[in-house]
Amino acid sequence: MANEKEVFVTEAGLEEMKKELEHLKLVRRPEVISALKDARALGDLSENAEYDAARNEQAIVENKIKELEVAIEHAKIINNVAADEVGVGNSVKLQYVDDNETETYTIVGSKEADPDSNKISNESPIAKAIIGKKVNTTVTVESPSGKYEVKILEIL
């Protein structure tokens, strides 16, 4: 898969992905296989809701395993980035120009993004606009809901 892109993660994020993968392979997969066997034992598969549910769960588990394997294979560990320019792994204090509100975000890879914790993906509109920029720079963010400007106050 030569066209796979790098997946930016912290070391802790990579360890979490590895733990989840191990859990899926060693715990969830055997549980689903057992549920499939039990459902098959109930007889006619054409009208067997338990069997259908187990097959759907198996597909979900197998897809998640594949997704994690690809992400781990293409993982690029975020190292502490120089603090003179915004990069993946930095926390950044921004001011929204139109309303003078300030917000602090940490830029992480898409697998670790958690908007509720102000961890934004490096692929998000705001991160794309500020990556590579310096303190006191004002940039225009082009988001699905329209354009707005933010000023980089501090790189933490």
> Partners of 142 in the beta sheet?
147
Coil, helix or strand at residue 134: coil
Share of the chain above pLDDT 90, in %: 62
Q: Where are the domains of the chain?
A: 7-77, 91-155
Q: Residue 114: CB partners within 8 Å, gap ≥ 6?
A: none
Q: What is the CATH number of domain 91-155?
A: 3.10.50.30
Query: Which CATH architecture is the domain 7-77 placed in?
Result: Orthogonal Bundle (1.10)
Confidence of residue 1 (pLDDT cuts 50, 70, 90): very low
Which is it for strands 91-96 and 75-77: parallel, antiparallel or unpaired? unpaired
The model's pTM: 0.65
Mean pLDDT of all residues belonging to the chain: 89
